[in-house]
């Protein structure tokens, strides 16, 4: 690893705008975004997304890192723009979020765990507002807030199913006003979304003030501004609002900042991190969480719309193993060659290619190669892509680092230089909320129709009455299927999506549409990753 100052110098980052945080990480001052870009070439933004995730593995983050290392090895100026890992998945089922093999961020253990404290700061600031709300209720409730209509939860960066629903304020009068409450995981916090979408400190302040924390006795919204703790929240978020600079194993610079999940939030790293990377390098490579139907849809419809971003190329990651799972092969049999299963699974890849087309984009396909993949399986996917005039590369970055993704990098550069296309949004903000949801469900998921519960219908009437209908929508849905049923793999057809609630995130600037049984507080599996992590001779082991 290089000292982080060396990485900052490689980007020509002015010294007064860089604040080292130990030897291998540092914060980038937001003043950078107020300065003129000094590089001659126009920057190009590359989005990496993937087919529907499976336990077999697709490798979106490793591909993003491997592609960055490949461009770096070719002498290009490149900076990654990625999300920060959450402790919940690290100790739960998924594991860390720094890539793997030779395509990793470094130091992986520190980035995956406490890093620079951003998640802790967001958790603290979020819970400060929650504490202020309950203190206000305790001391007379001058705002006339209806305790049963407080919608601001508490958060914790840990998978803890016992905190999904609880009663607080018990124990007598001096301990507060009893009411039902709940916890979300920090990655699902509206404050996380606000931090990731804010353009600068003043925008951050304005968004915090706009947060709707609940409703009064007459049904009017009560905002965070009325509790007069925005300044204190800003103080807690002072350093957390600045992007973090780290590096890959091959010394490629990486901005790592913000960490919303794409199944329960908008799934993209921060706008300021992406803009900072674009300011400092000719190529910025970012990813959008889970499959294209979740993270990438929100990247285009929420982040790009808000920040005025445009992509030069879109990379869609697949693997033969994942295609076989979509074709009906169980995990235990994935190492066996099964071309017929690959062909069946190609329906999932086909749907995501169609979805990318709805945004006016044409993808570069990459097959993340695993050791058990047969040449026949890989050739079947390559021929499928060739028949559709889709550029496709087999990548081995996990084993070989940047050299294993050079072919992919060359295809991406060619695509970006020859056919950059402006992003087309999926829907107009002037459409009704049901029209926006239906547009996403039909075009991204392939749904037949959208059904609403009685509770969701009440939410829609309230949103219309309060004037929030012009906001974009952020659909919370299972990542395991194109549908809202995690058991439906491949390319489901003739299904309906059920909306059970629609929440107002006025500070973030979108409406959260909850579908199916998706939860905003995960639980630990029977055997969590936490059982495999230990400290041996002062070194962390078992974190993956």
**What digits encode the pLDDT tens for the residues 13-43?**
999 999 999 999 999 999 999 999 989 899 9
3-state SS string for 72-95? HHCCCCEEEEECCCCHHHHHCCCC
Residues with Cβ within 8 Å of residue 275, at least 6 apart in sequence: 33, 307
**What distance lies between CA 23 and its chain's CA centroid?**
27
The whole-angstrom separation of Cα 270 and Cα 445 is 26
Q: Is the dihedral of CA 464, 466, 467, 470 positive or negative?
A: negative
Report domain extents, the chain.
Answer: 4-116+240-418, 118-234, 433-515
What value, to the nearest 5°, has the Cα angle with vertex 457 and ends 178 and 488? Answer: 100
d(CA 146, CA 215): 6
Taking only the tens of pLDDT, the chain with its 544 residues reads 899 999 999 999 999 999 999 999 999 999 999 999 989 899 999 999 999 999 988 899 999 999 999 999 999 999 999 999 999 999 998 889 999 999 999 999 999 999 999 999 999 999 999 999 999 999 999 999 999 999 999 999 999 999 999 999 999 999 999 999 999 999 999 999 999 999 999 999 999 999 999 999 999 999 999 999 999 999 999 999 999 999 999 999 999 999 998 888 999 999 999 999 999 999 999 999 799 999 999 999 999 999 999 999 999 999 999 999 999 999 999 999 999 999 999 999 999 999 999 999 999 999 999 999 999 999 999 999 999 999 999 999 999 999 999 999 999 999 998 866 788 999 999 999 999 999 999 999 999 999 999 999 999 999 999 999 999 999 999 999 999 999 999 999 999 999 999 999 999 999 999 999 999 999 999 999 999 999 999 999 999 8
- Residue 122 CB-density burial (10 A; 0-12 exposed, 13-18 middle, 19+ buried): buried
Given a contact cutoff of 8 angstroms between Cβ atoms, the answer to whether 520 and 152 are in contact is: no
User: What's the CA gap between 510 and 63, in Å, rounded?
Assistant: 29
The strand pair at 392-395 and 363-368 is best described as parallel
Query: What sections of 211-338 are H helices per DSSP?
Result: 230-236, 271-280, 297-298, 305-307, 320-326
Quote the CATH superfamily of domain 433-515: Formyltetrahydrofolate synthetase, domain 3 (3.10.410.10)
pLDDT value of residue 514: 96
pLDDT for the residue 418: 82
**Cross-strand pairs, 221:** 215
pLDDT at residue 264 in the model: 85
**Residues contacting 454, CB < 8 A, separation 6+:** none
Could you identify the residue written with the tokens 């194109």?
Answer: 482
Return the percent helix, strand and coil in the chain, to nearest 5. 40, 20, 40
pTM of the model: 0.96
How far apart, in whole angstroms, are the C-alpha atoms of residue 231 and residue 208?
A: 10
Q: Which two tokens stand for residue 217?
A: 């006795």
DSSP character string of 394-405:
EE-HHHHGGGGG
Answer for the pair 397, 63: CB distance below 8 angstroms, yes or no.
yes
* Ordered DSSP codes for 2-60: --HHHHHHHTT--GGGEEE-SSS-EEE-GGGGGSPP--SSPPEEEEEEESS--TT---H
Q: Are 346 and 85 in contact (CB under 8 A)?
A: no
CATH no. for 4-116+240-418: 3.40.50.300
Write down the pLDDT at residue 194. 98
Helix (H, G, I), strand (E, B) or coil at 144: coil
| Rounded distance between C-alpha atoms, residue 145 and residue 125, angstroms | 21
CATH code for residues 118-234: 3.30.1510.10
Give me the pLDDT at residue 419, please: 67
Which has the closest alpha carbon to 152: 140, 171, 135? 135
Amino acid 422: pLDDT: 86
Q: What's the CA gap between 308 and 423, in Å, rounded? A: 10
> What is the rounded CA–CA span in Å between residue 79 and residue 256?
10
Task: Match 């993209």 to its residue by tokens.
Answer: 268
CA distance 281 to 540: 33
Within 10 A of 417 (CB to CB), how many other CB atoms are there? 11
Contact 186, 192 (CB under 8 A): yes
């Amino acid at each position: 690893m290089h000292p982080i100052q060396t990485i900052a110098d490689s980007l020509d980052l002015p010294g007064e705008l860089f604040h080292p945080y130990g030897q291998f990480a540092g914060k980038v001052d937001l003043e950078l975004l107020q300065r003129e870009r000094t590089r001659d070439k126009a920057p190009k933004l590359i989005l990496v997304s993937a087919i529907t995730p499976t336990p077999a593995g697709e490798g979106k983050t490793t591909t993003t890192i491997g592609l960055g290392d490949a461009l770096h090895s070719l002498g290009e100026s490149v900076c990654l723009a990625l999300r920060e890992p959450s402790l919940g998945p690290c100790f739960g089922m998924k594991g860390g979020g720094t890539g793997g093999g030779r395509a990793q961020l470094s130091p992986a253990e520190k980035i995956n765990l406490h890093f620079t404290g951003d998640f802790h700061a967001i958790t603290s600031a979020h819970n400060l507002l929650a504490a202020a709300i309950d203190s206000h209720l305790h001391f007379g409730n001058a705002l006339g807030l209806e305790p049963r209509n407080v919608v601001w939860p508490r958060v914790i960066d840990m998978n803890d199913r016992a905190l999904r629903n609880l009663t607080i304020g018990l124990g007598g009068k001096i301990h507060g006003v009893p009411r039902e409450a709940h916890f979300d995981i920090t990655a699902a916090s509206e404050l996380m979304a606000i931090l990731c979408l804010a353009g600068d400190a003043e925008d951050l302040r304005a968004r915090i003030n706009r947060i709707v924390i609940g409703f009064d006795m007459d049904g009017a919204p009560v905002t965070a501004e009325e509790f007069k703790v925005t300044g204190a929240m800003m103080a807690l978020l002072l350093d957390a609002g600045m992007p973090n600079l780290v590096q890959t194993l091959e010394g490629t610079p990486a901005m790592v900042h913000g960490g919303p999940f794409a199944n329960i939030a908008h799934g993209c790293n921060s706008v300021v991190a992406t803009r900072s990377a674009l300011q400092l390098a000719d190529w910025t490579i970012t990813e959008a969480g889970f499959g294209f139907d979740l993270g990438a849809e929100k990247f285009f419809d929420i982040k790009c719309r808000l920040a005025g971003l445009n992509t030069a190329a879109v990379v869609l990651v697949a693997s033969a193993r994942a295609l076989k799972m979509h074709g009906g092969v169980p995990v235990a049999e994935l190492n066996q060659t099964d071309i017929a299963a690959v062909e069946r699974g190609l329906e999932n890849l086909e749907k995501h290619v169609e979805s990318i087309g709805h945004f006016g984009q044409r993808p570069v396909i990459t097959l993340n190669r695993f050791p058990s993949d047969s040449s026949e399986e890989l050739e079947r996917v390559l021929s499928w892509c060739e028949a559709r005039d889709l550029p496709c590369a087999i990548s081995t970055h996990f084993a070989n680092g940047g050299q294993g993704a050079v072919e992919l990098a060359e295809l991406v550069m060619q695509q970006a230089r020859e056919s950059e296309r402006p992003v087309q949004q999926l829907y107009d903000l002037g459409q009704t909320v049901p029209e926006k949801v239906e547009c996403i469900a039909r075009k991204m998921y392939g749904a037949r129709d959208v059904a609403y519960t009685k509770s969701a219908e009440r939410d829609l009437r309230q949103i219309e009455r309060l004037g929030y209908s012009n906001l974009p929508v952020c659909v919370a849905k299972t990542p395991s299927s194109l549908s809202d049923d995690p058991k439906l793999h491949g390319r489901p057809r003739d299904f309906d999506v059920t909306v059970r609630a629609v929440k107002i995130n006025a500070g973030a600037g979108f409406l959260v549409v909850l579908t199916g049984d998706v939860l905003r507080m995960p639980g630990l599996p029977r055997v969590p990753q936490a059982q495999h992590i230990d400290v041996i001779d002062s070194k962390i082991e078992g974190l993956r």
